[in-house]
Amino acid sequence: MNTTDYTQKMTSLHQDPSYRTLTKDPTEATERKTTYLIKKTTLPEDLCKKLCPTGSRRPRLYGLPKIHKEGVPLRPIVSNIGAPTYQLSKHLAGLLGQLTGKSTHHVKNSTQFVQTLSSIRIQPGDLMVSFDIISLFTNVPILDSLQLLSRHFDKDILSLFKHTLTSTYFCFKGEYYEQTDGVAMGSPLSPVIANFYMEDFERRAIEQAPTFWYTRGD
């Protein structure tokens, strides 16, 4: 892709109301707060040492071209490797992952979906409908997600979830931006929290009684 076109498309992403410009690099402050919150918990000392960040790197934004779509839009990815909350995000993703994928409506992949369909008998007039979510990660409501998390985790762990989910920032061409809502594609926690939220959303949705409902979380 032409560099000028790439830069213009990336810059246009920042005009989304989901982002706001920061006046300085928040990496050091985020690292200090991450360490403080981790040490306040009752987590084992050896685990705390593993999760506490040192020498953190600033998250970096880049875009992956969607070559299958008209105009070749970019999918924003935030590289969080080495960021202040990276190790903590991985740990929390592991905890939360134990609560997801247990719904009877969940399918792991396309193969399982085909096998499931083979056992279904539909009636004349039944319709098969497929839904897709546009920009799922940036549309995951943080406050609603934290409310759901509070049903499963104690106050200490909940504070770590809140910190991680509300410390989404990145750097692009020397400028710093913060994501005001939703989660960033690139964080280890993002796909898990998105699945966690959507499973609850779907649980409420299927109370409207569709004949069959299946969902795949990626």
Could you read off the pLDDT of 62-121 as tens digits, one per residue?
A: 999 988 888 888 888 899 999 999 999 999 999 999 988 766 666 777 787 788 778 877
Confidence tier at 39 by pLDDT (50, 70, 90): very high
Q: What is the dihedral of CA 195, 30, 45, 159, to 10 degrees?
A: -50
Tokens of 207: 């109370």
pLDDT of residue 59: 94
Distance of alpha carbon 110 from alpha carbon 7, whole angstroms: 36
pTM of the model: 0.82
- Other beta carbons less than 10 A from residue 206's beta carbon: 14
Alpha-carbon distances, residue 180 vs 75, 118, 199, 203 (angstroms): 18, 44, 23, 27
Amino acid at 202: E
* Angle at CA of residue 198, ends 51 and 218, nearest 5°: 70
pLDDT of residue 104: 66
Q: Which of 17-26, 89-98, 195-204 has the highest mean pLDDT?
A: 89-98
Handedness of CA 32, 34, 37, 39 (dihedral sign): negative
Confidence tier at 212 by pLDDT (50, 70, 90): low
- Other beta carbons less than 10 A from residue 187's beta carbon: 26
Residue-wise DSSP of 119-179: T--PPTT--------TTTGGGS-HHHHHHHHTTTS-HHHHHHHHHHHT--EEEETTEEEEE
Distance of alpha carbon 72 from alpha carbon 113, whole angstroms: 30
